[in-house]
Structure 1
Amino acid sequence: MFRYIVRRILITIPLLIVGSFLVFALVQGMGDPLGEWKLQQPRSPEEIAAAYERAGYNEPFFERYVTWVGGFVQGDWGTTIIPGSGVRDVQEEVMHGLWTTFRLVVGAEILALLIGMAVGVIGAVRQYSIFDYAATGAAFALFSMPVFCIGLMLKSAAIPFNDFLESIGMDRWITTAGPPPGGFSGSFGHQITQYIGTFLLPTLALLAIQFAFYSRFQRASMLDILGQDYVRTAQAKGLSSARVVFRHAFRNGLIPVITVFAVNFGTVMGGAVITETVFNWSGMGKLLIRSIYDKEPYMVLGVVMVTAVIVVIANLIADILYARLDPRIRLA
């Protein structure tokens, strides 16, 4: 197992290098990164030349790439000019966006996985039952709806609910526009209430789509496993239905779902752009869109590389789980 992990890490290093080079090359076509800065107020030629020199934009392409890679590995991801905020550190901005997205995504992904697996297993065991038809219909309905549509529906339902709470003398509970700027305050119980009210709507929006995804994969995987010879043998031996399902079928049926979860989690951590926009969260998605719009190459590179590393780590963890879930898989 140790040798397998080391080998996988060594394989991903050249992949990340090639990916970083391609992204770096594409980012160079975004336009002049200091164009907006030069238009904000009159700049002297000396000031403009100093800004390009300080940012390293006047160096040759390969020299800039090598400089950026060396700095990225050492923790120096460069600086960026944010309108109205001045010069900001790229690593600080990306880590702030990553933490915001992580808080937004991790709860929704875990809940969606657990609920989706449970619904998928029950739907496979009770195939063509009323529950199976209802779960299938709900999954297809949610899967076909855009995320922004679900988000707007949730916000539309939350506003009159908050109005009702206010009419009976209570505070407005459900937040529809991101976490409070100053953070949560008050007693521990009040902070927990604020936390739930803040995360409730975006979590439900992400959960609805991801639940539909995982439940369909789990159901299809379980139906395939339940038809295998070793499952029928276990049933013929007189084992209970629960033991056959959870001891012999469920573990093997998790493998495709774990694969999808690993890839999906890494991708969503790169930014739930629509959800962050609807609920006004300043996470990785909004940071990436803003960076592209403002032509900030180092910020775009930071977001993309962090996302790539997360995807690699998530896939590595999924590969390790394969051997734990199915002893027939060997990682030699």
Structure 2
Amino acid sequence: MIKFILRRLGISFLILLGGSLLMFVLTINSGDPLADLRESNDPNRDNLIAQRIDTMRLEDPWYERYGSWLAGVGRCVVGSCDLGVNRAGIDVSSLLASAASSTLRLVLLSTVLAIIIGVAMGILTAIRQYSGFDYIATLLAFMFFSLPVFWAAVLLKEYGAIRFNDWIADPDMSVVTILLIAAVLGLIVQGMLGGDARRRLVTGGGTFAFVFAAMLYFDAVNWYRQPALGIVVVVLAALGAALLLVSLTTGLGNRRVLYASLTTVAATTVAALVLDGPLSEGSWAVVFGLLAVAIVIAVVSGWFWGGFSRRVAIWTSVGTATIMTGLVVADQVLTAWGGYLGVVRNGRPISTIGSETPNFNGTFWQEFLDKGTQLILPTILLTLISVASYTRYTRASMLEVLEQDYVRTARSKGLSERTVITKHAFRNALIPITTIVAFDFAGLIGGAVLTETVFGWKGMGELFRTGLTTVDPAPVMAFYLVTGTAAVVMNMLADIAYAFLDPRIRR
């Protein structure tokens, strides 16, 4: 395995080297970096031209400029990267750090959401093959995959920002609107869960009644401007998550795993109540501190209750602890929403341009909301585009695996359908999906150029577009360095994941 990884690293290095040379040559020959100054009427034009020629080293041979950039990248090994300066004389390393943090914040969230939603939808459509839910999910997947990014971005700006901001100023929903939303959600849930007519009626009707009652309550108490969950709702939701995780892993019949998860919920609730004051003030140290405490509680609980199922108990408890920490954070964020509406730009929280409000000064949670609300629209756009491919690949992979002999053998042995799906089919279906994840993450960093341009994000896309427009190779090469390295690293992780998912690959 080590020899395999080293060989792959060597090949990847050669590919990156060749690609960087091609990118550099194409960039410097894509136009005239002095075009704007040649057309200028500035009396100091000749001095400005001479200064830019000196800054960009335009009189040096291209191979010397490329060799200088390559030597600067080589210093990254010792922690002193030198990516040069752009044509304005600004250090590209500092520009790259700011741009990469903005883009990675967007791409990481989009990728995680796309994987979770897409894989779940793919599994459900494979299990419900040729059902109404399968046809609708397939239609939506093809539609999202075919969406032109710029057109979808304009629609999101119109309905997700402009009209939402108009509505949130005085939120009100008619009974007809609430009925329609509840009916749609009821149809979706009964289609996902399936079953006979009676089960569909119960699940669909129950969802309809719950959503209708909840939305009537939200509208009556002006919840949309003053939202909150409260510790009771957080605990109930965490209990539901614990039961779901246990049912998906071992089944509710395994009392040891169930008790470990329930103990995790109870102990994490106590920890959240103890840290309520610091959490209200807000800081990353407190948030990650609560997460660390919850994970420690989960590991101890899983170890104590686990018995012969100790490993599963620990992982299930850790999942429960992570979800509950997220719910506690969500409660704090929702509680801060009302105050945020009072201090953000004329009470209009969703912006169509930028990744954050310039010079915004608020509490920790209000600043969290400010960055989070600007993340919503581009994240939705990238997620919709990616979730389509995950859904289709997962569905195809699951259908292929479900026809294998070992799956039929597992069913003939009397194993429950949950065990067959989660332990036998799903793990083997993940192998081709792992490849898609690796390519999708690297592709999203490069593919976010258009999305960032439409939404005015100062990220990697802006860095690349500006460098290419001004025929400035330093920003373009910095963009290539990040995206190329991301592609290599993600593919290496995919190879390692193969060995974990399928022990035969290790040999």
Q: TM-score, normalised by structure 2?
A: 0.61
Q: Which residue of 2 aligns with 1:32?
A: 32
Query: Equivalent residue for 1:14?
Result: 14
Instruction: Output the CA distance in 2 between the equivalents of 1:118 and 1:53.
Output: 56
Structure 1 stretch displaced more, 215-224 or 295-304:
295-304
Q: Give how far 1:322 is off.
A: 0.7
CA distance in structure 2 between the aligned counterparts of 1:246 and 1:61, rounded to whole angstroms: 56
Show the counterpart of 1:159: 162
Shift of 1:195: 3.1
| Structure 1 residue 63, shift from structure 2 partner | 2.4
1:291 aligned onto 2:447? no
Residue 87 and residue 162 in structure 1: after superposition, are their counterparts in 2 closer, same or farther (change >3 A)?
A: same
Between the two proteins, the alignment pairs up a number of residues equal to 327
CA distance in 1, matches of 2:395, 2:35: 53
142-151 or 305-314, which moves further after superposition? 142-151
Matches of 1:183 and 1:227, distance apart in 2: 58
Q: 2:54, 2:366 → 1: CA distance?
A: 51
Give the residue type in structure 2 aligned to 1:314. Answer: M
CA separation of 1:295/1:244 partners in 2, compared to 1, >3 Å: closer, same or farther? same
Q: What is aligned with 1:307?
A: 483
Structural mapping, 1:15-164, within 5 Å: 15-37=15-37, 39-40=39-40, 41-43=42-44, 48-49=49-50, 51-74=52-75, 75-81=81-87, 86-157=88-159, 158-164=161-167
Report if aligned partners of 2:352, 2:455 keep a CA contact under 8 Å in 1. Answer: yes
Structure 1 Cα separation of the partners of residues 57 and 470 of structure 2:
18
Is 2:356–2:371's contact at 8 Å kept on the other side of the alignment?
A: no
Q: CA separation in 2, counterparts of 1:205 and 1:54?
A: 39
1:234 and 2:410 are equivalent in the alignment: yes
Q: Which amino acid aligns with 1:164?
A: W
Aligned-partner residue type, residue 152 of structure 2: I
Distance 1:67 1:197 in 2: 41
Task: Give the letter aligned to residue 91 of structure 1.
Answer: S
Distance 1:183 1:223, change over 3 A: farther
CA distance in structure 2 between the aligned counterparts of 1:25 and 1:283, rounded to whole angstroms: 24
2:380 aligned with 1:196, yes or no? no
Which letter does structure 1 place at the counterpart of 2:165?
N
Alignment correspondent of 2:419: 243
User: Per the alignment, do residues 316 and 2 of structure 1 end up closer, same or farther by CA in structure 2, a change over 3 Å counting?
Assistant: same
Partner residue in 1 for 2:182:
none
User: Equivalent residue of 1:295, what SS?
Assistant: coil
**Contact 1:271–1:286 (Cα < 8 Å) also in 2:** no
Q: Distance between the aligned counterparts of 2:359 and 2:430, measured in 1?
A: 38
Structure that is richer in helix per residue: 2
| Displacement of 1:309 | 0.8
How far apart, in 1, do the equivalents of 2:473 and 2:480 lie?
11
Point out the more displaced range, 200-209 or 214-223. 200-209
Judging changes above 3 Å, is the alpha-carbon distance between structure 1 residues 10 and 251 closer, same or farther for their aligned structure 2 residues?
A: same
Deviation for aligned residue 1:180:
2.8
The one-letter code of the counterpart of 2:83 is W
Separation in structure 1 between the aligned mates of residue 427 and residue 51 of structure 2, nearest angstrom: 61
How far is 1:325 from its partner? 1.1
Distance 1:97 1:65, change over 3 A: same
In structure 1, the partner of 2:363 is 187
Query: 1:187/1:219 Cα in 2 relative to 1: closer, same or farther (>3 Å)?
Result: same
DSSP-derived class of the 2:86 partner: strand
Superposed CA RMSD: 2.1
Report how far residue 197 of structure 1 moved: 1.8
What TM-score do the two structures reach when normalised by structure 1?
0.91
Equivalent pairs: percent with the same residue? 42
Q: Does 1:317 align with 2:484?
A: no
Query: Deviation of residue 221 (structure 1)?
Result: 0.8
* Rg comparison, structure with higher value: 2
User: CA distance change for structure 1 residues 285 and 50 in 2, over 3 Å: closer, same or farther?
Assistant: closer
Q: Which residue of 2 aligns with 1:268?
A: 444
**Does the CA-based 8 Å contact 2:37-2:45 persist in structure 1?**
no
Opposite residue 132 of structure 2, the aligned amino acid is I
Q: Is the CA contact 1:98–1:269 (under 8 Å) kept in the aligned structure 2?
A: no
Displacement of 1:154 in angstroms is 1.7
| Deviation digits for residues 199-254 of structure 1 (CA, Å, limit 9, x no counterpart) | 11111111111111110110011111111111111111111111111111111111
Measured after TM superposition, the shift of residue 47 of structure 1 is 6.6
Rounded to whole Å, the distance in 1 between the matches of 2:47 and 2:36 is 17
